Amino acid sequence: MKIITFRAHGRTRWGAFTNNHAVDLNAAHADRGLDMFLAPTVLDFLRAGPTTWNAARDTLEWLGNKRLHEVTFDFDDIELLAPIPRPGKVVCIGLNYMDHARETGAAIPTKPIMFAKFPSSVIGPYDTIHVIPDVTTRVDYEAELGVVIGKPASRVSVEDAPGYIFGYTVVNDVSARDIQKGKEYGNQWVRGKSFDTFCPMGPSITTADEVANAQDLPVRAILNGRVLQDGNTRDMIFSIPALVSYISQGITLEPGDVIATGTPNGVGDARNPPIYLKKGDVIEIEVGNLGKLENPVQD
């Protein structure tokens, strides 16, 4: 399944991409004549667990190619939001690609480097990134694979970690480098990463069963039509299961939490001359067949 949150006919809904249109899964479930309400939001759906997830799959199978009023919507008739508009946590990993660590001049990490983005920074796949020029002048892009947690994970092993993953999404870890790195600010990673609009996410959550190998996905950033990042998740220093396990040692990962797994080389701040996001830009982020973010930039 590809799970989405969207707005149609004045209402915010959640559901799935299927057969080239959007489906309101709660409405489809009701049209089957079933009494059970699936969940109010995607976050509630993830917390509900496998019984509800399987019910959603059954409903999609029942729907098939049917086009039902207030159930199925053409893409042109909806506004696509972030699949989880307010995740509980967005846990990020720094310097998780060898070439990216090298381009920044940083030491190669021996353990995952963790930081966080506030959930209020999350926006949808086509929403506007605001660069706030009176606060920061070095706004950078970072193309990343996002891992969405499906059940509580506390002190899990690397071997068991895949069983805690619900699916995958696309993340742009937008970063104010002057605040993240500048000595005058005190190297404020969380502040520099958490400005409003600094976490575009989506367009959907692709369930883990539909991703053949999450450790072999191309990761690209394209600025105004120019490819600036072109990596692959196989080049991660710490694998996806290793990250889930490491974070869970003392921090419980909960359903709907998102892990941004790091970015390959090619970020704007490491270039000579540097390239920063500015008013009028369009930044696209692609990860394998998970979909694409396409966010305009304004001040």
- Are 35 and 148 members of one domain? no
- Are 28 and 117 members of one domain? no
Total number of domains constituting the chain? 2
* b (16+ CB within 10 A) / e for 106-128: eeebeebbebebbbebbbbbbbe
- Are 206 and 97 members of one domain? yes
- Are 189 and 47 members of one domain? no
Q: For the CA atoms of 178, 93, 268, 170, what is the dihedral angle to 10 degrees?
A: -120
Instruction: State the pTM of this model.
Output: 0.97
Boundary of a domain, candidates 81, 100, 131: 81
- Are 22 and 101 members of one domain? no
- pLDDT number for residue 19: 83
Write the pLDDT tens digit of every residue in 170-197: 999 999 999 998 777 668 999 999 999 9
36 or 153, which is more confident: 153
Instruction: Tell me which DSSP letter residue 275 carries.
Output: -
- pLDDT number for residue 213: 98
9 or 106, which is more confident: 9
- pLDDT number for residue 113: 96
C-alpha distances out from residue 17 to 4, 52, 198, 256, 265, Å: 7, 17, 25, 19, 31
- pLDDT number for residue 182: 77
Mean local confidence (pLDDT), 36-49: 94
- Are 229 and 111 members of one domain? yes
Look up residue 238 and give its two tokens. 């710490």
pLDDT at 36 over 80: no
Beta bridge partners of 113: 94
Boundary of a domain, candidates 39, 58, 81: 81
Q: Assign residue 180 the CATH number of its domain.
A: 3.90.850.10
Q: Residues 122, 85: contact at Cβ < 8 Å? A: yes
- Are 194 and 244 members of one domain? yes
- Are 94 and 77 members of one domain? no
Boundary of a domain, candidates 25, 55, 81: 81
- Are 168 and 20 members of one domain? no
Write the pLDDT tens digit of every residue in 146-157: 999 999 999 999
Length of the chain: 299
Tell me the residue range of the domain where 49 lies. 2-81
